[in-house]
Amino acid sequence: MLTVNHLAKSYDGEKKSLTDVSFSVHPGEVTVIIGPSGAGKTTILRSINQLIRDDDGEILFDDTDMRQLNRSQLRRARCRIGMIFQNYNLIEPLTAIENVLHGCLGTKSNLAGIFSLYSNREKETALKLLEKVGLKDFAYQQCRNLSGGQKQRVGIARALMQHPKIILCDEPIASLDPKSTITVMDILRDLAINDGISVLINLHQVDIAREYADHVIGINNGQVVFDDRTQALSDAAITGIYQKGAVPERSLVHEF
């Protein structure tokens, strides 16, 4: 589904932010990336949909390399990749349903984008998605009046409106209280289980990762230092991931 091979990235051409990162993500699974601050988690996520151009490697999404696509091909590929942000990044003056409907604009014409032309079916889908994330009564609220947890759920509904094959989440719960955290994480896990979407999440909360992830990838200093099922995430492994200057375990290196 999504396979990343030998991804390398340097922002300034000197210091390597990613060195040879490889992993894959499977449909119907929640994959969580953990690692210390500055390890390169955001860089990996944003390389996948090419918001930042990487330097080297291969990003196979449905067997096509995202790095080889031209502008319009990339735009079309992005239509099927949902993304969820720590700061929600909604259009605050617009209503929840308007924000959700943005999710389907990528596949529509210029005219539809300019005049907000949506079919009744699309509007129904948007309302259903808002219902799914528990915001049916807030469909016509301006997003600036929603709470953080509600905004994040609108963000999820917007991503779902794209009919995504994969959803990328960069610290989706970093600004949320514990209760909203559970709500949002439950929704994300539900998407993987019931809709067969691949969910890839950057997290700082190891306990949440343990509870929700099927698969955990540990990143340190731009390298993959852990890549295994969640059951294998022992306390020692966690210490290893967050260690300064951690190096890949021997056993792991042999796996590749």
Partner 1 sequence: MIKPENQISIPTQLPSGPRLSIPLRFRDRRRVTILLTLAVLGYITLMTLPTMIPSHFKLTEALMSFAENIKIMFLQPRLVNTTFISLLGVLGQSILLAFLTTLIGSVLAFFFALASTRRLAPTSLVLGIQSFMAVIRAIPTVLWVLIYSVVFGLGANAAVVGITFHSVAYLTKVYADSMDELSPEIIETMQAMGLKKSAIIRQAIIPNLIPSYLSWTFIRFEINFADAIAVGAAAGAGGIGYQLFMSSSFYFNFHEVGVMVYMILAFALVLEIISYRLRAVKHQ
Ligand X SMILES: Nc1ncnc2c1ncn2[C@@H]1O[C@H](COP(=O)(O)OP(=O)(O)OP(=O)(O)O)[C@@H](O)[C@H]1O
Q: Which is nearer to ligand X, 41 or 189 (CB)?
A: 41
DSSP state letter for 34: E
| Choices 103-111, 127-135, 172-180, 194-202; region in contact with partner 1 by CB under 8 A | 103-111
Separation of first and last alpha carbons in the chain: 18
Structure tokens at 26: 């499977």
Measured CA to CA, the distance from residue 200 to residue 242 in angstroms comes to 20
Binding-site member from 37, 63, 93, 120 for partner 1 (CB under 8 A): 93
| Choices 106-114, 120-128, 184-192, 207-215; region in contact with partner 1 by CB under 8 A | 106-114
User: Where along the sequence are the contacts to ligand X (CB under 6 A)?
Assistant: 11, 17, 35, 37-43
148 near partner 1 (CB under 8 A): no
**Residue 181 near which of Mg ion, ligand X, partner 1, none (CB within 5-8 Å, type-dependent):** none
Structure tokens at 174: 């970093």
Residues 205-224 that bind Mg ion (CB under 5 A): none
Q: Which is nearer to ligand X, 11 or 247 (CB)?
A: 11
Measured CA to CA, the distance from residue 146 to residue 92 in angstroms comes to 9
DSSP state letter for 177: -
Pick from 107, 96, 67: nearest CA to 157: 96
Structure tokens at 151: 């905004």
Convert residues 149-178 into a mask of x (bound to partner 1 by CB under 8 A) and - (unbound).
---------x---x----------------
Measured CA to CA, the distance from residue 214 to residue 64 in angstroms comes to 25
The residues binding Mg ion (CB under 5 A) are 42
